[in-house]
Structure 1
Amino acid sequence: MDAELFPRPRTQVAPGAVHVPDWLDPAQQRDLLAACRDWARPPAGLRTVRTPGGGTMTARQVCLGRHWYPYGYARTVVDGDGAPVKPFPAWLGELGRRAVTDALGPGAAQDAAYDIALINFYDAGARMGMHRDSDEKSDAPVVSLSLGDTCVFRFGNTGTRGRPYRDVTLRSGDLFVFGGPSRLAHHGVPRVHPGTAPPRLDLTGRLNITLRVSGFPDAGP
């Protein structure tokens, strides 16, 4: 939606978890989408993630910096084409630090060296079950950026996958940051609203870009 009768306010969803609507302007969204399309091309491109139990995730994924697979990280696409993972660009790390500062305030980024991106593509039928981002060795905040279709983002608690949780509407350009006491909160995407992406973005579906600090001893290029 290009115009709002009542602008959406930034919201603290939980301690350390903040939703900032419209953080990326239309031009920034288009630039980030163009980068995502480049990253999605093979080798080490967009893939279907298979779980240890033999199931598959409905959202497809491409990684930068480190390749995530259930439940760890590698330098190559160990559950795909075996190619080296694409590098994590410095400008994306700077974007992550700026996002944390804007959402949580000065000093919150603490010179965090963002070095991993997980980019998930949701088509109309894709979902993401409740889970925690717990495979990193760092407690730096997770940065989540949305492009394309609107979704319901369910943000829960650190103890269980069930209630209490809160449903947040994320639209194209929105920022969601969670750190501190909410860093290991369960979260997921129970629904995507097809056809709600800004027309000028030229994207069918939803892209979610999550930026993380690995905290691994050998982190770096």
Structure 2
Amino acid sequence: MQHDLFSQTVDDAREPFQFSEAGFHLPAWLAADAPRLIDRVRDCVRISPLRHFTTPGGKSMSVLSSNCGDYGWVADRKGYRYSATDPVTDQPWPAMPNDLRQRAISAAKHCGFGEFNPDVCLINVYKPGAAMGLHQDKDESDFGQPIVSFSFGLPVTFLWGGLKRGGSPQKIPLQHGDVLVWGREDRLRYHGIKKLADGRHPLTGNVRINLTFRMR
């Protein structure tokens, strides 16, 4: 299914595209707000700089990462976990900008998740060649709350797998300003990102910015 990037406004009340039982795609949901929201992200990474997290096995991740909010998701040789402080700066993560939080809450509510109030925003920046293997988001304490994902900048293909490893994942093209929301029976689905192709976007240059909102 193809979506016109400019076919929705921020106030468009059309039903989201449902790609799974409890997985939803909101095309161009953030297109009008994108310049301001991207500036908020830049403010955050000035305080907690982007870095490559390391897996417990010692492999450096291809994406650059940071966080904002009460907690941040971190990865190193000790494992995957949430931390109230940035291990690089030894300071609290920057506060989550309210307009980012409210847009995440609004998207979740639009998809039927009315109790979502994120305290974590993981910031991932993809340069050409970066990818994210199929994985589950399972470090949270309450799987009853959804995941909300914002996409800015270069287009990419989102991979939507099953509840177990293996099989051929569904491929969902994401454009600038798109939002994904998934939860309930789909909350622990494997998902990932195909390798980012080279390109240039007027707001982000040669990168894709992904924000993932969660409740720890």
From 64, 68, 71, give the equivalent of 2:73: 68
**Correspondent of 1:34 among 12, 20, 39:** 39
Counterpart of 1:218? none
* AA partner of residue 214 (structure 2): R
Q: CA deviation at 1:32?
A: 1.0
2:54 aligned residue (44, 50, 53): 50
Match of 1:150 in 2: 155
The alpha-carbon distance between structure 1 residues 55 and 7, as it changes in their structure 2 partners (threshold 3 A), is same
Q: Which residue number corresponds to residue 183 of structure 1?
A: 187
Show the 5 A alignment for 1:1-221.
Answer: 4=4, 10-26=16-32, 28-42=33-47, 44-65=48-69, 66-70=71-75, 71-78=80-87, 80-102=88-110, 104-105=111-112, 108-110=113-115, 112-138=116-142, 139-160=144-165, 162-195=166-199, 197=201, 199=202, 201-214=203-216
2:152 aligns to what SS in structure 1? strand
* Pair 1:35–1:5, CA change in 2 (3 A): closer
Give SS of 1:91's match. Answer: helix
The TM-score with structure 2 as length reference comes to 0.86
Identify if the C-alpha distance between structure 1 residues 173 and 16 changes in structure 2 by more than 3 Å, giving closer, same or farther.
same
User: 2:134·2:190 contact (CA, 8 Å) conserved in 1?
Assistant: yes
Q: Is the 8 A contact 2:158 2:194 kept in 1?
A: yes
Q: 1:12 Cα deviation (Å)?
A: 1.5
Q: Deviations over 1:123-178 (max 9, x none)?
A: 00111111111111122111001000000110111122x21420100010001101
Q: Which amino acid aligns with 1:73?
A: Y
Q: Which runs of 5+ in 2 are unaligned?
A: 9-14
Structure 1 residues 164 and 48: alpha-carbon distance in aligned structure 2, compared to 1, 3 A threshold: same
| Overall identity of the aligned pairs, in % | 32
How far 1:196 sits from its partner (Å)? 5.1
Distance 1:130 1:38, change over 3 A: same
Q: TM-score, normalised by structure 1?
A: 0.84
Q: Distance in 1 between matches of 2:92 and 2:177?
A: 30
Q: Which range moved further: 180-189 or 84-93?
A: 84-93
How many angstroms does 1:4 deviate by? 4.4
Relative to structure 1, the CA distance from residue 50 to residue 202 in structure 2 (aligned partners, 3 Å threshold; closer, same or farther) is closer
Cα gap change, 1:11 to 1:30, in 2 (>3 Å): same
Residue pair 2:6, 2:28 contacting (<8 A) in 1 also: no
Question: Higher mean Cα deviation, 86-95 or 176-185?
Answer: 86-95
SS in 2 for 1:125: coil
Q: How many residue pairs were aligned?
A: 202
